[in-house]
């Protein structure tokens, strides 16, 4: 059972506005795209562009992936291929991010890995749901949501907040006696022993939070200036920052079994590459640390390089310990 206060509630007017906006986003996508497949549960669309989004870090006109293929959520159900013969990579987003942040890798890794990118509450097709504000509650929700996917040959990849979520998901699985991931990929993230922000971003007023988003980079200016859009975006961005900033690492708990690959941007102002060595303390199998050119959102400029890391690491058959 989740404790009261683990989710941020939505006011009536804003709640209705967010539901309407989510519907408008889905309809806008469907009207502009060539729709393939049948049924009302989910649709694969080709040639779609991001034009109206709830991810503040996506910009208008971005084409998603070299295969130009994304998944549109209809009625809250995602249509995904079931390819048990392929290793599975479960992708978890940064603060304020959505599932479509990983769409380029769904295309780049097609036929090599099964890429699963869940939509967290408070955004996208789940924008009418209250977002979580505590990591433990979000991990519990994720374990329920992805119960069938957290089995067989699976690995976890998280960027920034998603890295923390991936790490604690692996710890929780092992603590509950379940098999953990084969590999843990963490990008753009300090090891959990470091506090996330000296200043609590989630406690800032709207103008202060918008200023922080501008300073972090990655959010188009036209998005930051759009007050109506920011009224939709800020609640789940604020909640995500609360997830990170209220997290407390428990060093007494065993490190995860899975090896870790940690990658940072060499120009990320908040994450020094040498600090990434701290991920070695989080895995009994050790951590491999490297960097790629760029700032905090370096991943967008290195789709092929990251895809190569994933395939080189996961393409070989899994050698698993007993659960």
Per-residue pLDDT of the chain (323 residues; tens, 9 = 90+): 333 346 655 443 333 333 333 333 332 232 222 222 222 222 223 333 333 344 555 544 443 333 223 333 322 334 444 445 899 999 999 999 999 899 999 999 999 999 999 999 999 999 999 999 999 999 999 999 999 999 989 999 999 999 999 999 999 999 999 999 999 999 999 999 987 766 788 989 889 999 988 888 778 888 899 999 999 999 999 999 999 999 998 888 999 999 999 999 999 998 999 999 999 999 999 999 999 999 999 999 999 999 999 999 998 665 555 44
CB 121 within 8 A of CB 142: no
CB 205 within 8 A of CB 162: no
Instruction: Round to whole Å and give the CA distance between 241 and 200.
Output: 8
Instruction: Round to whole Å and give the CA distance between 273 and 189.
Output: 10
Among this protein's residues, is 160 annotated catalytic? yes
Asked whether the whole model's pTM tops 0.85, one would answer no
Q: Of 21, 98, 155, 160, which is the active-site residue?
A: 160
| Domains identified in the chain and CATH numbers | 84-314 (3.40.50.1820)
Instruction: Round to whole Å and give the CA distance between 134 and 241.
Output: 10
Could you say which DSSP state residue 162 is in? Answer: H
Taking each helix axis as running N to C, give the angle between helix 227-245 and helix 206-216, from 0 to 180 degrees, rounded to the nearest 10: 80
Instruction: Round to whole Å and give the CA distance between 79 and 121.
Output: 18
> How many angstroms separate the first and last alpha carbons of the chain?
26
pLDDT at 260: 98
CA distances from 63 to 52, 54, 92, 220 (A): 13, 16, 20, 15
């Amino acid at each position: 059972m989740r404790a009261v206060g683990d989710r941020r509630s939505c006011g009536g007017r804003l709640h209705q506005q967010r539901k309407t906006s989510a519907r408008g986003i889905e309809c806008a996508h469907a009207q502009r795209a060539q729709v393939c497949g049948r049924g009302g549960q989910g649709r694969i669309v080709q040639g779609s562009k991001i034009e109206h989004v709830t991810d503040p870090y996506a910009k208008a006109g971005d084409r998603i992936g070299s295969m130009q293929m994304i998944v549109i959520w209809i009625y809250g159900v995602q249509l995904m291929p079931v390819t048990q013969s392929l290793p599975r990579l479960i992708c978890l987003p940064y603060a304020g991010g959505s599932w479509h942040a990983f769409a380029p890798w769904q295309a780049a890794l097609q036929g090599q890995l099964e890429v699963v990118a869940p939509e967290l509450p408070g955004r996208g097709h789940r924008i009418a749901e209250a977002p979580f504000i505590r990591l433990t509650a979000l991990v519990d929700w994720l374990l329920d949501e992805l119960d069938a996917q957290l089995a067989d040959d699976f690995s976890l990849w998280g960027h920034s907040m998603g890295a923390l979520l991936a790490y604690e998901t692996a710890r929780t699985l092992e603590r509950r006696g379940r098999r953990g991931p084969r590999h843990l990929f963490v990008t753009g993230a300090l090891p959990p022993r470091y506090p996330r922000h000296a200043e609590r971003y989630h406690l800032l007023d709207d103008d202060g939070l918008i200023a922080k988003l501008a300073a972090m980079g990655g959010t188009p200016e036209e998005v930051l200036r759009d007050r109506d859009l920011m009224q939709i975006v800020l609640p789940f961005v604020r909640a995500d920052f609360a997830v990170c900033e209220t997290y407390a690492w428990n060093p007494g708990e065993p490190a995860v079994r899975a090896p870790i690959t940690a990658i940072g941007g060499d120009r990320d102002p908040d994450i020094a590459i040498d600090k990434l060595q701290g991920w070695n303390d989080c895995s009994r199998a050790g951590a491999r640390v490297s960097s790629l050119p760029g700032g905090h959102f370096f991943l967008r400029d290195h789709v092929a390089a990251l895809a190569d890391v994933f395939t080189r690491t996961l393409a070989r058959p899994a050698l698993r310990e007993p659960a």
